[in-house]
Amino acid sequence: MEYLNTIISGTGSFIPEQRIENKDYFKSTFFEKDQTLIQGSGEEIVGKFKDITGISERRWVKENQTTSEIAALAAEQAITSANIDRETIDHIIIATNFGDVIKGTIQTDFLPSIAARVKSKLGIVNPSCVAYDLIFGCPGWVQGVIQADSFIKTGLAKRCLVIGAETLSRVVDIYDRDTMIFSDGAGAVIVEGVLGDKKSGILSSATVTHAKDEAYYLYLGQSNQPNSDPNVRYIKMHGRKIYEYSISKVPQAIKMAMDKSGLAIESVKKVLLHQANEKMDEAIVQRFFKLYGIRADLVEIMPMNIHELGNSSVATVPTLYDMILKGNLKNHVIKKGDIIIFASVGAGMSINAIVYKQ
């Protein structure tokens, strides 16, 4: 029997050179959302932040770089890695949330779409290569891969380029301590259909959205600085609500994908979870395995790069995957035949997961 498998044939990423260390915030002044001053020294506030999130530093793009530019750089790596003719790409799907934001402004720019800009930067001429943006919060890249799989399995495409790219440094409020979470980056993959006598690649997936009470846990809002302009808005979040939502809902969503695969939980070698918050991610993965009555060895099964790279939203999962495959993440290896899970949670609120056989 022959199977049409959706596989990831090439990967790439762009990690900005500029390091913003925690000590760079020691002299910062932070306010709550009600614009009251947060008491304590900058060093104390940063120390508490590090204990919760695990983040020591984050990466920001250079002043002249934009989301579309770093997306194209990651895409070039993926195309080279897959060793394909770029003119054979049927879809370019770019997950982003703010598009291109020019340094010194706070205005998001999606005209033309980021995907169209990337297609232009890649020099792809083929008009049948359709380029579009996917606005889906932090789970955007995972959702883009799920969509690519659907296109391939239904015969609407043979090969897709899926990118997650964001420059969150351009939309943060420097008076909000949540600023310290966010970073910039881009990750890209080539997703294509191949025939095989055994199942491999994407085995199953699941996506859910909770928007009754949860829709605005992440939102755009006024600066925390007193007397700031209410018409100038920055990325904001209700951190406690997101944490409670995530540890409660994400394990169940991942289980949906796992159960669809028909595989035993013991077969899972790695869980590549959105790099949002170390403590939250640890709780999510441990609760997921607890649903099957077992305890996970998090050091072995949950690779992380948030400590040095921060939370780059849609870019975290593909960047993590690319780093492991290229031997750039210490103590973690993905081998042919390994079962891995991609999963993410974010604005909307939405969650998704993919069970993948390498």
pLDDT tens, 73-103?
999 999 999 999 999 999 999 999 999 999 8
Residue 153's pLDDT is 96
**Does residue 236 share a domain with residue 347?**
yes
Arithmetic mean of pLDDT, 207-233? 94
**Does residue 190 share a domain with residue 259?**
no
pLDDT at 131 over 90: yes
pLDDT band at residue 40 using 50, 70 and 90 as cut-offs? confident
Q: What Rg, from alpha-carbon coordinates, does the chain have?
A: 20
**CA 79 – CA 36 distance, rounded (Å):** 49
Structural domain ending residue among the three candidates 196, 221, 245: 196
Residue 104's pLDDT is 85
Please confirm whether the linkage preceding 180 is cis (ω < 30° from 0): no
**Does residue 103 share a domain with residue 243?**
no
CA dihedral in degrees (90, 96, 97, 100; nearest 10)? -100
**CA 132 – CA 99 distance, rounded (Å):** 12
Residue 41's pLDDT is 85
Rounded to two decimals, what is the model's pTM? Answer: 0.95
Contact of 29 with 37, CB cutoff 8 Å: yes
**Does residue 268 share a domain with residue 293?**
yes
Residue 274's pLDDT is 97
pLDDT at 1 over 90: no
**CA 176 – CA 29 distance, rounded (Å):** 8
Residue 122's pLDDT is 98
Work out how many domains the chain is built from and give that number: 2
Residue 333's pLDDT is 96
Q: What is the tens place of the pLDDT at every residue in 142-183?
A: 999 999 999 999 999 999 999 999 999 999 999 999 999 999
Our measurement of the distance from residue 173's CA atom to the centroid of its chain's CA atoms, rounded to an integer in Å, reads 21
Q: What is the tens place of the pLDDT at every residue in 185-203?
A: 999 999 999 999 999 999 9
Q: What is the pLDDT of the chain when averaged over all its residues?
A: 96
pLDDT at 105 over 90: no
First to last CA, the chain: 20
**Does residue 205 share a domain with residue 153?**
no
Q: What is the CATH number of the domain that holds 117?
A: 3.40.47.10
Q: What is the tens place of the pLDDT at every residue in 305-321?
A: 999 999 999 999 999 99
Contact of 203 with 327, CB cutoff 8 Å: no
**Does residue 93 share a domain with residue 181?**
yes
Structural domain ending residue among the three candidates 142, 165, 196: 196
Domain, as residue range, for 351:
201-357
**CA 99 – CA 113 distance, rounded (Å):** 8
Residue 42's pLDDT is 83
**CA 185 – CA 181 distance, rounded (Å):** 13
Our measurement of the distance from residue 128's CA atom to the centroid of its chain's CA atoms, rounded to an integer in Å, reads 27
Arithmetic mean of pLDDT, 39-63? 92
% the chain with pLDDT above 90: 94
Q: What is the tens place of the pLDDT at every residue in 319-350?
A: 999 999 999 999 999 999 999 999 999 999 99
Checking DSSP bridges between strand 57-60 and strand 18-21, what pairing results, if any? antiparallel
Residue 203's pLDDT is 98
**Does residue 185 share a domain with residue 87?**
yes
